Amino acid sequence: MVTGPGQRCYNYTMNRLTAVLGSVVVLAGTYIVRDFLHLMATKEAAFEKAREISNGKGIINLGCGPHRTFMSQVIAESPEVLANIDVAMDGMPRFLQLDMEREPLPFGDKQFGYAFASHVLEHLSKCKSATEYCR
């Protein structure tokens, strides 16, 4: 095994690189966890506001999706949610598979007190305003 100045330089560089990359991984992990917790808290607060605004008339949950967080599942199963809509198949309660960009919502105007759509509009390709989907 070589133990000259080249090897010491290599060892020093690798140790520093490992320390820096380790810090980056920890820092990135911290931000990921923080962002996830922020998302959960924000979604919960938004749903609490939806409950308040709906005034007992019911909520339609647009874009509930199969790849959801724990909070999304809690929202989908809430008794105030009268319909869960998504393009992807799902087994949640009161679920309707529907592509909002190709098919009209099968509900009358003002049938719900609130339309809840968390992290949905950025996935739609057609340029409609949020108010068109949530009439």
Query: How high is the pLDDT of residue 113?
Result: 92
- Residues 71/50, Cβ–Cβ less than 8 Å: no
Query: How high is the pLDDT of residue 55?
Result: 87
Q: Above 70 in pLDDT, residue 66?
A: no
User: Which tokens is 3 given?
Assistant: 């133990």
**Greater model confidence, 23 or 56:** 56
Integer Cα distance of 48 and 75 in angstroms: 10
CA atoms within 13 A of residue 126's CA, in its CB half-sphere? 10
What is the average per-residue pLDDT within 22-51?
73
Q: Would you list the domain boundaries of the chain?
A: 5-133
pLDDT in tens, 77-128: 889 999 888 888 767 778 888 887 888 889 888 899 998 888 777 777 765 5
Query: How high is the pLDDT of residue 59?
Result: 92
Predicted TM-score of the model (pTM): 0.65
Query: How high is the pLDDT of residue 58?
Result: 92
Query: How high is the pLDDT of residue 97?
Result: 85
